[in-house]
Amino acid sequence: MAGTFTRIIFLARNFFRICIPVSAFCICPTISCHIRLAFVNHRAMIRPILIHPDPRLKKLCEPVAEITADLRQLAADMLETMYDAPGVGLAAPQVGVTKRLIVMDCIKDGPPEPMALFNPEVIWSSEDLSTYEEGCLSIPEQYADVKRPAEVQVRWIDVDGKTQERQFAGLWATCVQHEIDHLNGKLFIDYLGPLKRQMITRKMEKLKRELARE
Ligand code: NI
């Protein structure tokens, strides 16, 4: 029980850290209660986040055939990594694993709601669009307006291997679409014009050189 208690404290601490204005934190840098309990037995680890440009961020990720203990561990690690960043979503390729798994928690006020979605797919999109200033943990401190469907219906496999479906709106809709894009090798800067995209990519190349020197 001590482990459970520590874990809940950890989630609460990180939850407060992400309580900053939405535009100031990254979409990409991610539990109803039962999902949280499913993760409690795993000792979660913060994994390094890949920075764009990286060939692993451009790959089409493989579907998950079965929810193994390793994949549950990966989901727990990704949530830990996302809360630590802090961010509201993270996709497996961002930690160098080219499998179809995303994690999210877009709750700003209220108890955290960490989610892990295996093989997520958009099965319906609204005609209404919404524009949101997006960021990405793999493209630190760069933000740009991206227009996407305002609401989407998503189907996925949960951490217990059960198929789930939910309609997302608001920040959740933006986040789930942004993260699913990652599984198809697509970044939010791919929605921008070539000049802006190149400018951001050059900044990231410079950042990576600086980080390599440290
Ligand atoms: Ni991202």
CATH number, domain with residue 80 = 3.90.45.10
Average pLDDT over residues 199-213: 96
- 6 vs 171: CA distance, rounded Å: 29
Higher per-residue pLDDT: 197 or 24: 197
What pLDDT does residue 17 have? 32
pTM of the model: 0.82
Q: Measured in angstroms, how far is the CA atom of residue 26 from the centroid of ligand 1? A: 8
The confidence band for 42, taking pLDDT boundaries of 50, 70 and 90, is low
The alpha helices in the chain, defined as continuous H runs, are 2-17, 33-40, 69-84, 170-183, 194-213
* CA dist 88 → 95, 108, 112, 114, 135 (Å): 15, 9, 11, 9, 10
Q: Measured in angstroms, how far is the CA atom of residue 163 from the centroid of ligand 1? A: 24
What pLDDT does residue 109 have? 84
Higher per-residue pLDDT: 11 or 86: 86
Instruction: Please state the domain count of the chain.
Output: 1
Residues involved in catalysis:
179
Query: Helix (H, G, I), strand (E, B), or coil: what is residue 144?
Result: strand
Asked if pLDDT for residue 173 goes beyond 60, the answer is: yes
Residue-averaged pLDDT of the chain: 85
Q: Measured in angstroms, how far is the CA atom of residue 64 from the centroid of ligand 1? A: 20
Asked if pLDDT for residue 166 goes beyond 70, the answer is: yes
Range of the domain at 69: 4-213
Higher per-residue pLDDT: 19 or 117: 117
Q: Measured in angstroms, how far is the CA atom of residue 8 from the centroid of ligand 1? A: 26
